[in-house]
């Protein structure tokens, strides 16, 4: 039985995030254009690099990961990250009307750039937005004292900007111009 705070499981989750979002080539893995890795191949490649993992452990991670970062396909032969990629993958997310307001957690040092250029994707495929201030506070808190920006997503949507909701409920868009941000 793998326990929730099992350090090994956490370490594997982190590695899995890195491999499936940013750098599959690190272990010689190939993702398809939709970001899916073959589960058997992933397990074999992990093995080659001396990081043992089995299907049970993957199932546990998919099920219990704190942010539901990963998903299997229907027959569990493939696995992918739900969002957060820096490599180019087509997730085929459905365009969704956003909540009237969304939030973005960041830190003070980025504010002058954000005021000038809006929220940009930076190294990822999308700008990530949170449905509530509490989540945004956690996101910003990864980098220091969090600063929460309020996004007028309703107005953006009416102006034609597209929004997507990932499997794990992160709101994604391509750009948030500064005029839609309350600082």
Cα Rg of the chain, angstroms? 18
Q: What is the DSSP code (8-state) at residue 35?
A: S
Binding status of residue 80 toward ligand HQG by CB under 6 A: no
The whole-angstrom separation of Cα 135 and Cα 3 is: 25
The whole-angstrom separation of Cα 70 and Cα 85 is: 12
- The total number of residues shown for the chain amounts to 183
Q: Applying CB under 6 A, what is the total number of residues that bind ligand HQG?
A: 17
Chosen residue from 10, 51, 68, 143 binding ligand HQG by CB under 6 A = 143
Q: Is 178 left (phi over 0), alpha (psi -120 to 50) or beta?
A: alpha
Among the residue ranges 4-12, 25-33, 44-52, 119-127, the one whose residues contact ligand HQG (CB under 6 A): 119-127
Chosen residue from 38, 55, 120, 174 binding ligand HQG by CB under 6 A = 120
Which residue in the block uniquely carries the two structure tokens 């900007």?
Answer: 161
Q: What track of x and - describes contact with ligand HQG for positions 88 through 117 (by CB under 6 A)?
A: ------------------x---x--xx--x
Residues that bind ligand HQG (CB under 6 A): 67, 69, 84, 106, 110, 113-114, 117, 119-120, 122-124, 128, 139, 143, 170
């Amino acid at each position: 039985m793998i326990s929730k705070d099992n350090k090994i499981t956490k370490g594997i989750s982190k590695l899995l995030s890195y491999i499936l979002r940013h750098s599959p080539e690190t272990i010689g893995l190939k993702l398809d254009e939709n970001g899916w890795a073959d589960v058997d191949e992933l397990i074999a490649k992990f093995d080659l690099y001396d990081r043992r993992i089995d299907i049970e452990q993957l199932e546990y991670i998919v099920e219990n990961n704190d942010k539901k970062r990963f998903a299997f396909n229907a027959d569990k032969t493939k696995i992918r990250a739900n969002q957060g990629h820096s490599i180019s993958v087509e997730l085929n997310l459905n365009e969704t009307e956003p909540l009237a307001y969304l939030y973005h957690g960041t830190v003070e040092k980025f504010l002058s750039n954000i005021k000038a250029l809006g929220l940009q994707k930076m190294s990822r495929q999308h700008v990530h937005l949170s449905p509530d201030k509490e989540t945004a506070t956690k996101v910003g808190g990864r980098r220091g004292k969090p600063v929460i920006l309020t996004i007028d997503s309703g107005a953006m949507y009416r102006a034609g900007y597209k929004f997507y909701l990932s499997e794990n409920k992160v709101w994604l868009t391509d750009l948030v111009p500064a005029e839609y941000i309350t600082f």
